[in-house]
Structure 1
Amino acid sequence: MFNKILIANRGEIAVRVIRACREMGIETVAVYSEVDRNALHVQMADEAVCIGPGKAQDSYLNMENIISATVLTGAQAIHPGFGFLSENSKFAQMCKECNITFIGPDAETIDNMGNKSKAREIMLKSGVPVIPGTEGSIETVEDALKEADRIGYPIMVKASAGGGGRGIRIVRAKEELKKAFETAKSEAKVAFGDDTMYIEKFIEKPRHIEFQILADNYGNVIHLCERDCSIQRRNQKVLEEAPSPVMSHELRKKMGEVAVKAAKSVNYKSVGTIEFLVDKNFNFYFMEMNTRIQVEHPITEMITGVDLVKEQIRVSAGEKIEFSQEDIDIKGHSIECRINAENPKKGFRPSPGTITLEHLPGGSGVRIDSSIYQGYTIPPTYDSMVAKLIVHGADRKEAISKMKRSLEEFLIDGIDTNIEFQLNILYNDSFQKGDYDTGFIQSNEDTLF
């Protein structure tokens, strides 16, 4: 096991990893930008190293500075969290060459699964069901038009290196394609430095259901059941729950087996997530794989009792998974709400600023993953998520009631938040019935805002 781990991230995920390490008896090193010098993860870690100015490009994405900080402090491994360098194959390879353990899969796997069009090809060869679409990347508008005619509208133009809802456009008619292709391509270039595109069939009103994977270095691969991530705004998740309210035992078994097959097809090691779209007839299609810990991992931890961050660290240290698929059992129901510093009534405008008053909810089955505190100033430089509120109940009805109560207790003054917006989702009749899809927010704008 490692003696010291550097966390190449910030915010709540850095705090989450520090807590796991402390419980495992592992020392931690925080890295931080100049604007994050007062951040909670900096105060909690055993050591902290400044790695550059506020811009992520100069600090949290600065590979050389992060490697230097690791060598300087004698850390043996780097935990990348999510976002930033967590799915960067160049960084994973750089760690390997410097004899530093990258807590995640190897560079080749990140490359294979991080490129969406390449991942599709691999899954097709492995017999994993995929959404009808192009088998490779699309270079020109002319090629896009030909492929769209072959696949049939509506389609989605997607960035191969995409994520977080960027570089994606839905196209319902031929005359819309040229503009959509060009704007998605330029957006992808700015966001990912890669404007490779592909096309797939747009599945109307799908559920977005993902399976949590855990794999070690000895060929053991298991899944820890599913999360329903269908409550989204512009392809970005807002609220997640586990298990999915539409999942049957038979469908879970079938999808879980396919998820494990997908992970084995790329010799996967570490934690990861296989994401599917499920249509109204419960046909499911592979969409992508996230080769890192997910924002919504706590709800899986709540229903399975497995600490995913600790397991991720153990696997990277060369330990075997100590339990089998048969040991995984769903206990109760869990919901996560992402609390963002933003104003939903003003187009979700970001709301950086100083927190003047804070009261966190508590009680049985309530968990807060956050890095904010009273007096902390949220910078405008990074993602707007400031906390994750997670609840666990005996069943879905109790989990919903517990989340409502917890949101109503949650107080953050000095900035705008989406707490009221999350409450409106919880009170929605369709949500309470479990009758929703990825278009839920757009379809209920009149009652949610």
Structure 2
Amino acid sequence: MPSRRGLIFPAFAWSGFSSAFASIIVGSQLQASLGTLDALFAAILGNWILFIYSAAISFAAGRWGLSSQLVLEAVFGRWGAVIPGALLGALVTGWFAFHVTVTATILAAALHLQVDSTLAICVIGILFAMPAIVRISRGFNMTAIAIPAMALFAAVVFAHQLVPRWSVLLDGPIGGSLPFGTGVCIAFGTFVVSGTMTGDIVRFCRTGNEAVQATAFGFLLANLPFLIVGVLVAASGARVNDLFTAGNALSWLLLALVVVSNWTTCDACLTNAGVTFKSAFPTLPWMGVAGVATLLGIILAVTNSVGDVSSWTLLLTAIASPIGGVIIADYYVVRVRVGFSRTRVARVNLAALLATGAGMLAALLCYRLAPAVIAPLISAPAAGCLYLALSGMALHRLGADLGGQSAGAEAIE
């Protein structure tokens, strides 16, 4: 408890992390696929669902001061938590790859460089990763730099690109080829992984309520405005890359601001992944863990595995939201009176793993059979309800029973 830092640090860390350039790209993709009005509604609805989902996890993690991996261990068991932890760590490394790729593409276009994309990605990836690998940076402390950078970016884009075209921004197509529910899933998926891993940030809050407030700063006051900016930029008739290729002073300013923002986001993603991998495999050295995460990110970037941002965010939604659904069900129903004060007896909570897999399958079926459905509203509750059912039917055999009071619980209480 003496190490808790209150509301300000987690709120700034979340806001800096979620005020990412990726949100502008996602917003512009939504406008192209849905039309302006539907894209705006999808961004707003998707972010509110994301906030409610993440706030439920934030309250639990912030109340007990647990990192994301410790939350997973409390729910899935010490060994069982390795599976969802590795999945989430790999997915957040994918966002590192995405921002490295975007930075390489923008720099090549703005500077008219004829360089091999693989070389550019490797160089930028290593440069962005080195502060985290050698522990120069302090993870989410770095994201505070992104707040003024992206705020200035949004102000310049608003004044230079949007205000002159304000009267025609809503004159474009009303609808698009993409189902509205899928658009909501894309907006939700932008930060669903980090929302599931929110304990790494909100554990520094003093109370669960402060953790919820920090989450509100991150999603409703930081991420959502940049999604909307992305929608409006596309509605003005401009491509996002066009903002950096004009060759004037403003385009150079925007380029510098985005490089700074992408660097801090990459630093936070790599730190998030490294902390998760390190917690899952505590005997491994930090430099080795961060180096492996960097290598994975560079491989994902070079192979263009995260190039399609729509498909990428839908994959994140399918994988991460059932994990969160099980966490929420475990904390608010199974542990309703004891919270995380009691440990899980079994090293593997098979009920939690089976329910998570079923939730992922439910999300994939929604995408395939009912794309108009908002998948996380099906997959997360389905995973949580199945977990409760399995826990009730075979509590001991599936490893869902709780043991004695955990270390440090008396101090927290």
TM-score, length of structure 1 as denominator length: 0.26
TM-score (norm. length: structure 2): 0.28
> Higher strand fraction: Structure 1 or Structure 2?
1
Higher helix proportion (structure 1 or 2)? 2
